[in-house]
């Protein structure tokens, strides 16, 4: 009996170690986001930090992909429809080995492979160029449709923003993905409740957002977008859902992980100063 108890203890310890490892990875991504935006003195920290746990979990725990072969035909696809949050995307790609981590310090610089918004012609690992809101989700749907036509097993993931959800094209895409029964498509709404001009609710309310996606024919889930366990569980449900695309509405905090950025609209598109960078990094140790 004692041995079995010991084994259980060890299993729990392994689980805990794994959990800590995933949380540590997300922290590392957050540190890189702060460093690269501070170095560029330009970029969007708030929305990058809010979706960090989602994109880190996708690339490290969920998606089939290969840094050695970024255009591998069978890979799962990812589209960052809210393209301005690309610092999080770039940090994850670098940690996966798509390009050297040192490259992150060239963000937004002349001739860089890391453009201000994702450009799939120049950045290894980026499946689709985005930046103008509302467009990426349609392209993700197109990738999912191609997978259906060719009876491929790959899945398509897309992250959209809450402010982005005000674009009409998002709802055209929503209607069509349900119409074509794209159950190989899994979308996340990074619901951090803030956009450039203020609170989403006050600028142009998107509520009741879960009901909207449900009404458009999607399988809908609502989770804490900073819980790695909940992200993995939700994607598992999406994977098992037949004939419907899945929308995971993820409640997040803009600027998550850095006390003076959390819930602050001022850090939507403003780089931290060098002092703020140091403070943020010390909080993220």
Partner 1 sequence: MAEMVATRDAYGKALIKFGKIYPEMVVLDADTSSSTRTQWFCNEFPERFFNFGISEANMVGYAAGLSTCGKIPVVSTFACFGSGRVYEQIKLSVCWPRLNVKIIVTHAGVSVGEDGASHQAIDDINLMRVLPNMTVIVPADGIETEKAIQYAIESYGPFYIRLGRLKLPLVFDDNYEFVLGRMSTLRQGKDATIIACGLMVNESIKASQILSEQGIEVRILNASSIKPIDKQAIILAAKETGVIITAEEHSIIGGLGSAVSEVLSTNLPAPVEMVGIGDTFGQSGSPEELLSLFKIDAAAIVEAVVRGIGRK
Residues that bind partner 1 (CB under 8 A): 73, 77, 79, 119-121, 127-129, 131-132, 134-147, 149-150, 168-169, 172-173, 175-176, 180
Least spacing, CB of residue 115 vs partner 1, in Å: 10
Closest CA to 270 of 122, 27, 84, 5: 84
Choice between 26 and 80, CB closer to partner 1: 80
Choice between 187 and 228, CB closer to partner 1: 187
* Token pair belonging to 280: 């943020």
Least spacing, CB of residue 68 vs partner 1, in Å: 20
Least spacing, CB of residue 178 vs partner 1, in Å: 12
Q: Which residues, 6 or more positions from 85, have their beta carbon under 8 angstroms from its beta carbon?
A: 44, 47, 48, 50, 51, 159, 161, 190
Choice between 60 and 180, CB closer to partner 1: 180
Using CA atoms in the order 279, 253, 141, 237, what is the torsion angle rounded to 10 degrees?
120
Choice between 42 and 169, CB closer to partner 1: 169
What are the backbone dihedrals phi and psi of residue 94, each rounded to the nearest 5 degrees, phi first?
-65, -45
Least spacing, CB of residue 197 vs partner 1, in Å: 21
Cβ atoms of 181 and 218 within 8 Å: the answer is no
Choice between 26 and 143, CB closer to partner 1: 143
Choice between 27 and 75, CB closer to partner 1: 75
Least spacing, CB of residue 285 vs partner 1, in Å: 38
Least spacing, CB of residue 176 vs partner 1, in Å: 6
In whole angstroms, give the CA distance from residue 177 to residue 28: 34
In whole angstroms, give the CA distance from residue 81 to residue 166: 13
- In 114-218, which residue ranges form alpha helices assigned H by DSSP? 136-149, 168-179, 200-204, 209-215
* Token pair belonging to 71: 């255009």
């Amino acid at each position: 009996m004692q041995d079995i108890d010991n084994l259980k203890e060890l299993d729990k310890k392994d689980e805990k170690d794994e959990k800590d490892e995933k949380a540590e990875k997300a922290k590392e991504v957050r540190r890189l986001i702060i460093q690269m935006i501070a170095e560029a003195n330009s970029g969007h920290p708030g929305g990058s930090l809010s979706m960090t746990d989602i994109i880190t979990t996708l690339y490290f725990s969920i998606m089939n992909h290969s840094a050695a072969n970024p255009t591998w035909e069978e890979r799962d696809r990812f589209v960052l429809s809210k393209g301005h949050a690309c610092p999080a995307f770039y940090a994850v790609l670098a940690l996966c080995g798509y390009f050297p981590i040192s490259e992150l310090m060239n963000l937004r610089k002349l001739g860089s492979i890391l453009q201000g918004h994702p450009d799939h012609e120049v950045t290894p690992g980026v499946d689709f160029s985005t930046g103008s809101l509302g467009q990426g989700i349609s392209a993700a749907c197109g990738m999912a449709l191609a997978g259906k036509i060719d009876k491929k097993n790959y899945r398509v993931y897309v992250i959209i923003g809450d402010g982005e959800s005000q674009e009409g094209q998002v709802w055209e895409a929503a209607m069509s993905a349900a119409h074509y029964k794209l159950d190989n498509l899994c979308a996340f709404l990074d619901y951090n409740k803030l956009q450039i001009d203020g609170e989403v609710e006050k600028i142009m309310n998107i509520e009741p957002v879960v009901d909207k996606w449900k009404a458009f024919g999607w399988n809908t889930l609502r989770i804490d977008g900073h819980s790695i366990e909940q992200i993995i569980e939700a994607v598992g449900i999406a994977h098992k859902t037949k004939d419907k695309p899945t929308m995971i509405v993820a409640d997040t905090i803009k600027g998550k992980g850095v006390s003076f950025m959390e819930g602050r609209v001022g850090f939507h598109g403003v780089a931290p100063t060098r002092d703020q960078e140091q403070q943020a990094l010390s909080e993220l140790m």
